[in-house]
Amino acid sequence: MSAITCKELNFYYGNFHALKGVNLNVSEKRITALIGPSGCGKSTLLRVFNRMNDLIIGSRAAGDVKIFGEQILGDGVELTGLRKRVGMVFQRPNPFPLSVFENVAYGPRIHGLKRGGGLERTVRECLESVGLWNDLKDHLKENALSLSGEQQQRLCIARTVATRPDILLMDEPCSALDPQATARIEELMQDLKSNYTILIVTHNMQQAARVSDDCGFMLMGELVEFGDTNRIFTAPADKRTEDYITGRYG
Amino acid sequence: MDRFISKLLFLAACSSTAILALIALFIFKEGLPIMAKTGIGHFILGKEWAPLSGQFGIYAFIIGSLWVTIGALIFGVPLGVSCAVFLAEFAPPKWVGVLKPAIELLAGIPSVVYGFLGVMWLAPIIREHLGGPGLSILAASIVLAIMILPTIVSVSIDAIQAVPKSYKEGSLALGATAWQSTWRVILPAAKSGILAGVILGMGRAVGETMAVIMISGNATTIPHSPLDSVRTLTANIAIEMGYAVGDHRQALFATGVVLFFFIMILNTVALKFARRKF
């Protein structure tokens, strides 16, 4: 089943036409990567799916975007519910300046899970799922900002997973990390794939090739080509994709 | 030339520090003998202030300063912080451009005008509706609360705006509402800055003299209710300095010494909070 379907999506920042007629199907429980040079619109596209672009004054989306069959563009959409289902991990790890526990418990709390056994179990499960539990089980009360960059990013993933989303959006989640940490986060993504649909934006082509099942190449607001990652990287159909992959620009 | 200028600047730096040292020295020199004579305990905790018969106990004024300041914070902090939250997080940018300077303008109104308004307008209302003399802790608290608003609001706005945008984004992306994000993430992150603003406002409330003399009633007795008149430490000095001689004069300087420590402690605490990062 398609987790995300996107038909004739156009997006504007004021007069700037940032996304031009994007059509896209993201399949469930796979990792889909969006690649392309800086400013091509890949982050904008990602942020359409949890409506984070709404924060930017003067931005406007037109078209048809469905998450598991439900329309998410327009005024009637309940954003809190949408963002609970479509979680997001940011480029720079942004844990709250609260304790490790409170960071993970944040989502469950705001969505109404009260303190108690349930919450503690959720926090534990989420930390386990991102491989932090063993390191941090005795440091749950410590300030999250004292963790290493990699741990912070894992914590942010745990925090996102804690709201039980269907889809994880990842906006260059490794760009602030060193290569070893990057490799371990990529491994984590493979583990998470069985439970979540992951959509990752990266301008690191090797990363896209390593982690993703499907891959889309974007250029100047257009989705130039989309398909199976192996196929995109070995036999791109579009000349522009080929030029980008072979490093002729970007 | 460079050496000359750096020497000149060094001299300027020294002299401003020296001024502080000289003032402190002078106040202490004038104030300490009477404290020693009365006994520090008796001076600070003495309930009787009767300069003509040699009784110098400033307990009532310390209590007066304390209540008036606490009262000012009770009214001023919730109002000021809510105002800052609204302006920093919820108000349309156009409003902020008008409202923030307007609030900062409050700082430009001379304290005698605040005092005058308090005497002419606020005190009668309190007297008629709540009883007591009107000139009271309550009246002084309300007026001081308004006077410290600009400090609290502008420092708090800066503190809230200094919180990284990524915290708010992170919170919204988890499905939190704007208010939940503010209450659970932004305010805790801005806590130390807001606290610094509150403490700076508190310093202003402790030090304010003119408005307080006009509206607090200046009774030298220990107050029993918010509707009673009080005299603060600052008011005590200002009211009696005109005719004080000998021990009496020294006792006013000693009041200054106590005030000096009071405010120094507050400033130290404020700086400590202001420097702490998230």
In chain B, the domains with their CATH numbers are: 49-275 (1.10.3720.10)
> Residue A228: inside a domain, yes or no?
yes
Return left, alpha or beta for A191; rule: phi > 0 is left, psi -120 to 50 is alpha, else beta: alpha
pLDDT of residue B52: 87
Query: Do A96 and B176 make contact, defined as CB atoms within 8 angstroms?
Result: no
Residues of B in Cβ contact (< 8 Å) with A94: 164, 166-167, 169-170
Would you call B278 an interface residue with chain A, using a CB distance cutoff of 8 Å? yes
Residues of A in Cβ contact (< 8 Å) with B171: 96, 106
Query: Do B174 and A52 make contact, defined as CB atoms within 8 angstroms?
Result: no
Residues of B in Cβ contact (< 8 Å) with A97: 167, 188-189, 278
Minimal-distance CA residue of chain A relative to B180: A110
Query: Do A87 and B173 make contact, defined as CB atoms within 8 angstroms?
Result: yes
> Residue A250: inside a domain, yes or no?
no
Number of domains in chain A: 1
Would you call A173 an interface residue with chain B, using a CB distance cutoff of 8 Å? no
Alpha helices in chain A (DSSP H): 42-48, 79-85, 100-110, 117-129, 133-136, 149-161, 179-192, 205-211, 229-234, 239-245
CA angle (A100 as vertex; A99, A103 as ends), nearest 5: 85
The shortest C-alpha distance from A133 to chain B (Å) reads: 21
Query: Do A160 and B176 make contact, defined as CB atoms within 8 angstroms?
Result: no
Give the pLDDT band of residue A250 (cuts 50, 70, 90): low
> Residue A17: inside a domain, yes or no?
yes
For B84-138, write each residue's pLDDT tens digit: 999 999 999 889 889 999 998 998 999 999 999 999 999 999 999 998 899 999 9
Would you call A52 an interface residue with chain B, using a CB distance cutoff of 8 Å? yes
Would you call B180 an interface residue with chain A, using a CB distance cutoff of 8 Å? yes
Would you call A42 an interface residue with chain B, using a CB distance cutoff of 8 Å? no
Substitution target in B94, B174, B185, B277 with the highest count of A β-carbons within 10 Å is B174
Residues of B in Cβ contact (< 8 Å) with A87: 173-174
pLDDT of residue B275: 67
Query: Do B174 and A145 make contact, defined as CB atoms within 8 angstroms?
Result: no
ipTM of the complex: 0.92
pLDDT of residue B155: 93
What is the pLDDT tens value at each position of chain B, 278 positions in all?
Answer: 889 999 999 999 999 999 999 999 999 999 999 999 999 999 999 999 998 888 899 999 999 999 999 999 999 999 999 999 999 999 998 898 899 999 989 989 999 999 999 999 999 999 999 988 999 999 999 999 999 999 999 999 999 999 999 999 999 999 999 999 999 999 999 998 999 899 889 999 999 999 999 999 999 999 999 999 999 999 999 999 999 999 999 999 999 999 998 888 877 877 777 666 44
- Count helices and strands (H / E) in chain A: 10, 10
Q: CB neighbours (10 Å) of residue A114?
A: 8
The sign of the CA dihedral A95, A52, A92, B179 is negative
Residue A21 parent element (H or E): strand A16-27
For A22-46, write each residue's pLDDT tens digit: 999 999 999 999 999 999 999 999 9
Overall average pLDDT of the A39-64 stretch:
94
Give the pLDDT band of residue A247 (cuts 50, 70, 90): confident
**Token couple for B177:** 């509402």
Give the CATH number of the domain where residue A110 resides: 3.40.50.300
Partner-chain residue, chosen from B166, B175, B177, that has the shortest CB–CB distance to A107:
B175
3-state SS assignment for residue A69: coil
> Residue A177: inside a domain, yes or no?
yes
Nearest by Cα to A206 from A176, A237, A183: A183
> Residue A196: inside a domain, yes or no?
yes
Q: CB neighbours (10 Å) of residue B152?
A: 28
Partner-chain residue, chosen from B166, B176, B177, that has the shortest CB–CB distance to A94:
B166
pLDDT of residue A147: 95
> Residue A172: inside a domain, yes or no?
yes
> Residue A48: inside a domain, yes or no?
yes
- Residue range(s) defining the domain that contains residue A65: 2-245
Per cent of chain A over pLDDT 90 is 86
For A85-133, write each residue's pLDDT tens digit: 999 999 999 999 999 999 999 999 999 876 666 899 999 999 999 999 9
> In angstroms, rounded to a whole number, what is the distance separating the alpha carbons of residues B29 and B26?
5
Minimal-distance CA residue of chain B relative to A50: B173
Helix axes B123-130, B137-161, angle to 10 degrees: 120
> Residue A65: inside a domain, yes or no?
yes
The sign of the CA dihedral B246, B247, B252, B257 is positive
Query: Do A52 and B173 make contact, defined as CB atoms within 8 angstroms?
Result: yes
Is A236 within 8 Å of A245 (Cβ atoms)? yes
Minimal-distance CA residue of chain B relative to A107: B174
Give the pLDDT band of residue A221 (cuts 50, 70, 90): very high
Check pLDDT > 90 for residue A139.
yes
